[in-house]
C-alpha cells in the first residue's frame, strides 16, 4: 500500500522505463537479488547447508551426500504423489500406512519364493493403487472430504498390514529382493536412480502435458474446469491412484533395504511428505505449487535430519527443531508472497 | 461544527492504473446522495477510502472540518462513518442478535455474556426500522435482502452519522428493495448522510436527493435529482450517446443452429427456443427469473430432466458438458471468477483450457500452437496483458472477460451462450466486447445472451426473450424492440404485470 510517487504524474514522459537499476548492482545483480527474494526457500536451504558445512567436517563428503540421497528416496516418491494430491486441493494421509501394507504384501509374496521378486513388486504397487483408488473414488464420486477419506484409508491400510503378518514382522526375505535397494547403476544406488527418474517424469508431466495442466486447473477452480469441459472427477481420482502407487513403490524400497517388512514401517511418513510439499510453497487450497518446490522441501528436511544427526543432536530435540523450522519456513514464504502482492 | 463529511481531491491508483483522479465531494446530513457510475468508474474505491479501508494516494477526508487519519477504519468509525459493503459478511451460524453485537458484546457484572440484554436491545433496534424478526433467528435462515437489512441496522445502530451503501440492491428481490427504501427514508429523517451507489435508473429516481456521477475516476456531474433527466444521467455515466456503444447488427442466417424443445429442469416449466446461425437472441428478466439456470441446463452443467437439445442438428445427451463442447457449444458464465477462470493460472493456460485436445499430441502440449492461438484471439479482442504468462487474477475485469470469451474462439464453436457478458467490465472494454460479439455473429455463430442490462440486451440482440419463473413468457422481435416503450414492456413481462 506504499505508493511512493503518484503514477498520474508520470504521464508527461510516457516512454520512460521505471528507473530502478542500481548503479552498483547492474542488471545481473538485480536479477539475482530479485530471484532470491522470489525464492526464499532456496536461501534458507543455502543457509542450512552452509551452517552444517561449517559445523561438521563430514557433512560435505561424497559419502554423506549419498547417505542423504538414499534416505530421501522413499520420501521423495510419496512427496511427489502428495504434490499432485495437494495441487488438487486435497491431502493424502494414507501413504504411510500404504507403505506398510504394500511392504507386507510384497514380503508375503516373495518370502519363500525368490523367483517371484517382480511379482512382489507388482503386488506392492497394486496394493497402493487400490488403496489410492478407493480414496479417489470416495473423494471424486461420493464427495467425502479428502482429509476424511484418506484418514479412513490410512486406518484400513494400517489394519491390513497387521492382518497380513498376524501382527508380526516378516523377516528373512530372499537376497534377490534385497538387491532392489542395494544395487548400483552407474555407481548410483538404485533407489536414488528411481528417485531421480521420478523427479524428471513428474516435472515433465506437470509442465509439459495436458494432464499436468488439468491437475492445476481442477485444483485452482473445479467449477471453472468443469465448464471448460474438463473431467474433474477423473482428474481427482487419478491423483490418489498415482499417490497410492508411488507409496507402494516406496514400500518396496524400504522393505528391500532392511530385508524385512513390519506393520509399523512408514508410519508417520505422510507427515514428512506433506511438510515437504508445503515447504515447497504449495497451497493446501490447491492450484499452487511446483514439483521443484517439493524437491527443495524434501531435501531441506532430509538435510536437517542428516546434519542434526552428524552434530549428535538427540532425536527428540531434532523433532522440535524440525517442527519449528517448518513453521518458520512457511511463514517466511507467506510473508514474501504478501509483500510482493502489495 | 456541522456534521458534514468532506472529501478533498482524492486520488488513488492500483498498480499504476488510476482509479480515482481527484474527487471532491461534500456530504450533508439528512441527504441521500446517489453515487452513480458504470462498473469500474471508481465508486467502490471512493467508498473504501471514505470508510478508511483504503488510504488515498493524495487528498484527504474531513469530518466536521477535522481531517480523518487516512486508511484508518477505526478513525472513520469513530467519526460516525458506517459502511454496508456490496459483498455482505454475516456470520451465518450465529443468530441475528449475536451478529448485531459481534465485537461489542454486552456483558453482565460477572463478565459473562448478557444474552437477555442483547436480545432485548436487538429487538428494539429491529423494531425501530420496522423489521419484524425474532433476534434469536439464525442468520442463515434469512434471505439475502433481510440479511442486508440486518447488516444496515448493525452498521447504523451505534449512531452512525454517515452511512455508505455499496450497490445494496445487487442481489435482492423487488419486495425487499421496497423495505430497503423505507429504511433509507428513516435514516434520512434521522439526519444521517447517506451515500448510495448504483447504476440502475429506477433506484436513482426512487431514493436520490442528489446525484453524483463518477466516470473513469472523475466526478462528472453533481446535481439535485430534479435537475437531471434520465437521459442526462446515462449520458454522464457512459460519456457518449448510447447508440454509439452498439455496432450495427448483421443480418442473421436462416439455418437453425440451436434447437431447444421442451427442456425441463427441476421446478421450472419446459422451455422451447431456437437460435439461428448468425443470430443474437437476448434473454431478459429480473434477478432470479432463471436465465442463468437455463443457460447452465443447456450446457449440461445443471441437471436436465426432460426435453431435447440439438446443436447443428446433433442431439445432446443430458448433463454432459464434454458432449456440449464437442458439438460446438460454449458457455461464458456469469460468475467470471467463480466459474469462468482459474485465477491462479496465467492467460495462456486459462485461454487454452477448453481446447487442450487441439493443442496437444498424445497428451503432450504443443506450446507453440497454444501460444499462437491464444495470442491471435487476444489481439482480435484487444486483450491487454503483460504477456501470456500474466496471472489472470491481476487482469482488470474487462480483460478477464476477454479471456473467458476469447478462449472459445480458437475452437469450432457454433453456439455461444453468454451470461451477463459485461458484468463488472468498464465502458471501454464493454464496447470492445460488444464488437467481438457482433463479429462472432457475423461469422455465423448463434448467440444466446442473458443480461440484466436493458440497454445492452436491446442494443445487441436481433430478438428478445423475456423470462419469468424459469420459463419464457414473451418474445419481442426487432420491431417491438425499436418501439420507445420497450423497456417498460420488458419490465411488465418480467415482473408478471398485465400488459395493456
ipTM: 0.74
Q: Do A221 and B341 touch (CB under 8 A)?
A: yes
Mean of the per-residue pLDDT values of chain B? 85
Q: Do B344 and A226 touch (CB under 8 A)?
A: no
- DSSP character at residue A16: P
Is some CB atom of chain B closer than 8 A to the CB atom of A9?
no
Q: How confident is the model at residue A14 (pLDDT cuts 50, 70, 90)?
A: very low
User: Given a cut of 50, is residue B427 above it in pLDDT?
Assistant: yes
User: Given a cut of 90, is residue A180 above it in pLDDT?
Assistant: no
Count the neighbouring beta carbons within 10 Å of the beta carbon of residue B85: 18
B307 within 8 A of B261, measured Cβ to Cβ: yes
- Chain A residue closest in CA terms to B350: A217
User: Given a cut of 50, is residue B404 above it in pLDDT?
Assistant: yes
Q: Which of B435, B465, B431 is nearest to B451 (CA)?
A: B465
pLDDT of A154: 95
Q: Which of B179, B171, B149, B159 is nearest to B84 (CA)?
A: B149
Report residue A5 as a C-alpha cell: 510517487
Q: Do A208 and B55 touch (CB under 8 A)?
A: no
Summarised one tens digit per residue, pLDDT across range B14-35 is 766 788 899 999 888 899 999 9
pLDDT of B498: 59
Interface residue of B327, B328, B329, B342 to substitute, partner A, most A CBs within 10 Å = B342
- Chain B residue closest in CA terms to A8: B18
pLDDT of B242: 60
Is some CB atom of chain B closer than 8 A to the CB atom of A220?
yes
Distance from CA of B322 to the nearest CA of A (A): 5
Q: What's the number of CA atoms in the CB half-sphere (13 Å) around residue B390?
A: 17
Is some CB atom of chain B closer than 8 A to the CB atom of A287?
yes
Distance from CA of B19 to the nearest CA of A (A): 10
Mean of the per-residue pLDDT values of chain A? 86
Distance from CA of B33 to the nearest CA of A (A): 28
Count Cβ atoms within 10 A of the Cβ of residue A152 and give its class: 0-12 exposed, 13-18 middle, 19 or more buried.
middle
A94 within 8 A of A150, measured Cβ to Cβ: yes
pLDDT of A203: 93
Question: How far is B174 from B143, CA to CA, in rounded Å?
Answer: 13
Interface residue of A7, A212, A229, A287 to substitute, partner B, most B CBs within 10 Å = A229
User: Given a cut of 60, is residue B1 above it in pLDDT?
Assistant: no
User: Given a cut of 90, is residue A15 above it in pLDDT?
Assistant: no
Give the SS3 label for residue A261. strand
User: Given a cut of 50, is residue B4 above it in pLDDT?
Assistant: yes
Summarised one tens digit per residue, pLDDT across range B365-386 is 888 889 998 998 888 888 888 8
Q: Do B345 and A287 touch (CB under 8 A)?
A: yes
Summarised one tens digit per residue, pLDDT across range A144-175 is 999 999 999 999 999 999 999 888 899 888 88
Q: Which among A3, A8, A210 is the nearest to B363, CB-wise?
A: A210
Summarised one tens digit per residue, pLDDT across range B207-241 is 899 999 988 888 988 989 888 887 788 788 877 66
- DSSP character at residue A93: T
Question: How far is B395 from A79, CA to CA, in rounded Å?
Answer: 33
Summarised one tens digit per residue, pLDDT across range A182-229 is 888 888 889 999 999 999 999 999 988 999 999 999 999 999 998 888
B278-309 in b/e form (b: 16+ CB < 10 A) is bbbbbbbbbebbbbbbbbbbbbbbeebeebeb
Q: Do A217 and B322 touch (CB under 8 A)?
A: no
Mean pLDDT across the stretch B306-310? 91
Q: How confident is the model at residue A38 (pLDDT cuts 50, 70, 90)?
A: low
User: Which chain A residues in 110-129 lie under 8 Å from chain B, judged by CB atoms?
Assistant: none
Report residue B321 as a C-alpha cell: 458438458
Q: Which among A210, A211, A221 is the nearest to B342, CB-wise?
A: A221
Report residue B47 as a C-alpha cell: 467508498
Can you give the pTM of this predicted structure? 0.78
Number of A:B CB contacts under 8 A? Answer: 91
Q: Which residues on adjacent β-strands are paired with residue B6?
A: B26, B62
Question: How far is A275 from A319, CA to CA, in rounded Å?
Answer: 13
Q: Tell me the chain A residues in contact with residue B331 when contact means C-beta distances shorter than 8 Å.
A: 227
pLDDT of A17: 41
Distance (Å) of CA B42 to CA A9, A52, A81, B217, B322: 19, 55, 46, 5, 39
Q: How confident is the model at residue A281 (pLDDT cuts 50, 70, 90)?
A: confident
Identity of the highest mean pLDDT range in A123-137, B118-132, B432-446: A123-137
Torsions phi, psi for B138 (to 5 deg): -65, 140
User: Given a cut of 50, is residue B500 above it in pLDDT?
Assistant: no
Mean pLDDT across the stretch B326-352? 89
Amino acid at each position: 500500500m506504499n505508493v511512493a510517487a503518484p503514477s498520474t504524474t508520470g504521464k508527461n514522459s510516457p516512454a520512460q522505463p521505471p528507473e530502478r537499476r542500481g548503479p552498483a548492482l547492474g542488471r545481473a545483480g538485480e536479477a539475482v537479488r530479485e530471484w532470491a527474494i522470489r525464492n526464499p526457500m532456496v536461501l534458507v536451504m543455502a543457509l542450512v547447508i552452509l551452517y552444517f558445512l561449517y559445523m561438521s567436517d563430514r557433512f560435505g563428503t561424497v559419502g554423506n551426500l549419498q547417505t542423504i540421497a538414499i534416505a530421501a528416496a522413499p520420501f521423495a516418491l510419496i512427496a511427489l504423489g502428495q504434490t499432485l494430491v495437494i495441487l488438487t486441493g486435497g491431502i493424502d494421509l494414507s501413504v504411510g500406512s500404504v507403505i506398510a501394507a504394500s511392504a507386507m504384501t510384497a514380503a508375503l509374496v516373495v518370502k519363500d519364493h525368490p523367483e517371484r521378486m517382480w511379482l512382489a513388486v507388482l503386488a506392492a504397487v497394486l496394493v497402493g493403487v487400490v488403496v489410492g483408488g478407493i480414496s479417489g473414488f470416495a473423494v471424486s464420486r461420493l464427495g467425502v472430504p479428502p482429509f476424511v477419506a484418506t484418514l479412513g484409508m490410512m486406518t484400513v491400510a494400517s489394519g491390513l498390514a497387521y492382518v497380513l503378518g498376524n501382527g508380526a514382522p516378516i523377516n528373512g526375505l530372499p537376497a534377490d529382493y534385497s538387491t532392489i535397494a542395494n544395487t548400483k547403476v552407474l555407481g548410483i544406488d538404485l533407489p536414488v536412480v528411481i528417485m531421480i527418474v521420478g523427479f524428471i517424469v513428474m516435472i515433465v508431466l506437470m509442465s509439459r502435458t495436458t494432464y499436468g495442466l488439468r491437475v492445476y486447473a481442477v485444483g485452482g477452480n473445479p467449477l471453472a474446469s468443469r465448464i471448460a469441459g474438463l473431467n474433474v472427477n477423473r482428474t481427482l481420482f487419478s491423483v490418489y491412484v498415482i499417490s497410492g502407487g508411488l507409496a507402494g513403490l516406496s514400500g518396496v524400497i524400504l522393505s528391500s533395504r532392511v530385508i524385512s517388512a513390519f506393520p509399523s514401517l512408514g508410519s508417520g511418513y505422510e507427515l514428512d511428505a506433506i511438510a515437504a510439499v508445503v515447504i515447497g510453497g504449495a497451497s493446501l487450497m490447491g492450484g499452487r505449487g511446483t514439483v521443484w518446490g517439493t524437491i527443495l522441501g524434501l531435501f531441506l528436511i532430509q538435510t536437517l535430519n542428516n546434519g542434526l544427526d552428524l552434530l549428535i543432536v538427540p532425536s527428540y530435540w531434532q523433532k522440535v527443531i524440525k517442527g519449528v523450522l517448518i513453521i518458520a519456513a512457511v511463514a517466511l514464504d507467506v510473508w514474501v508472497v504478501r509483500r510482493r502482492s502489495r | 461544527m456541522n456534521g458534514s463529511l468532506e472529501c478533498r481531491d482524492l486520488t488513488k491508483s492500483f498498480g499504476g492504473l488510476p482509479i480515482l483522479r481527484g474527487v471532491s465531494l461534500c456530504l450533508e446530513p439528512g441527504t441521500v446522495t446517489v453515487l452513480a457510475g458504470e462498473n469500474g468508474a471508481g465508486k467502490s474505491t471512493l467508498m473504501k477510502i471514505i470508510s478508511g479501508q483504503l488510504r488515498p494516494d493524495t487528498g484527504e477526508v474531513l469530518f466536521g472540518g477535522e481531517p480523518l487519519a487516512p486508511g484508518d477504519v477505526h478513525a472513520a468509525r469513530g467519526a460516525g462513518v458506517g459502511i454496508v459493503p456490496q459483498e455482505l459478511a454475516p456470520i451465518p451460524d450465529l443468530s441475528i442478535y449475536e451478529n448485531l453485537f459481534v465485537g461489542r458484546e454486552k456483558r453482565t457484572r460477572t463478565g459473562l455474556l448478557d444474552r437477555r440484554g442483547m436480545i432485548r436491545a436487538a429487538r428494539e433496534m429491529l423494531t425501530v426500522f420496522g423489521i419484524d424478526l425474532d433476534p434469536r433467528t439464525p442468520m442463515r435462515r434469512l434471505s439475502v435482502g433481510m440479511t442486508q437489512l440486518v447488516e444496515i441496522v448493525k452498521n447504523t445502530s451505534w449512531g452512525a452519522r454517515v452511512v455508505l451503501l455499496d450497490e445494496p440492491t445487487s442481489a435482492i428481490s423487488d419486495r425487499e428493495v421496497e423495505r430497503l427504501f423505507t429504511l433509507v427514508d428513516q435514516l434520512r429523517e434521522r439526519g444521517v448522510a447517506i451515500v448510495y451507489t448504483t447504476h440502475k435508473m429506477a433506484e436513482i429516481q426512487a431514493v436520490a436527493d442528489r446525484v453524483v456521477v463518477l466516470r473513469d475516476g472523475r466526478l462528472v456531474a453533481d446535481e439535485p435529482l430534479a435537475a437531471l433527466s434520465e437521459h442526462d444521467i446515462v449520458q454522464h455515466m457512459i460519456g457518449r450517446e448510447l447508440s454509439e456503444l452498439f455496432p450495427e447488427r448483421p443480418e442473421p442466417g436462416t439455418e437453425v443452429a440451436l434447437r431447444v424443445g421442451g427442456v425441463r429442469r427441476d421446478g421450472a416449466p419446459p422451455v422451447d427456443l431456437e437460435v439461428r446461425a448468425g443470430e443474437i437472441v437476448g434473454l431478459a428478466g429480473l434477478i432470479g427469473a432463471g436465465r442463468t439456470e437455463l443457460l447452465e441446463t443447456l450446457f449440461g452443467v445443471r441437471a436436465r430432466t426432460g426435453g431435447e437439445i440439438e446443436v447443428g442438428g446433433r442431439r445432446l445427451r443430458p448433463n454432459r458438458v464434454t458432449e456440449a463442447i464437442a458439438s460446438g457449444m460454449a458457455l461464458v458464465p456469469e460468475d467470471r471468477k467463480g466459474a469462468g477462470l482459474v485465477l491462479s493460472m496465467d492467460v495462456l493456460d486459462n485461454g487454452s483450457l477448453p481446447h487442450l485436445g487441439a493443442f496437444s499430441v498424445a497428451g503432450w502440449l504443443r506450446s507453440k500452437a497454444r501460444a499462437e492461438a491464444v495470442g491471435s484471439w487476444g489481439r482480435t479482442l484487444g486483450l491487454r496483458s503483460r504477456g501470456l504468462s500474466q496471472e489472470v487474477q491481476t487482469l482488470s475485469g474487462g480483460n478477464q472477460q476477454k479471456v473467458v470469451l476469447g478462449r472459445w474462439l480458437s475452437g469450432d464453436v457454433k453456439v455461444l451462450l453468454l451470461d451477463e457478458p459485461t458484468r463488472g467490465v468498464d465502458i471501454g472494454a464493454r464496447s470492445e466486447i460488444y464488437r467481438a460479439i457482433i463479429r462472432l455473429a457475423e461469422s455465423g455463430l448463434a448467440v444466446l445472451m442473458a443480461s440484466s442490462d436493458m440497454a445492452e440486451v436491446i442494443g445487441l440482440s436481433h430478438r428478445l426473450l423475456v423470462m419469468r419463473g424459469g420459463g419464457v413468457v414473451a418474445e419481442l422481435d426487432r420491431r417491438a424492440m425499436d418501439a420507445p416503450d420497450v423497456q417498460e414492456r420488458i419490465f411488465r413481462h418480467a415482473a408478471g404485470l398485465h400488459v395493456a
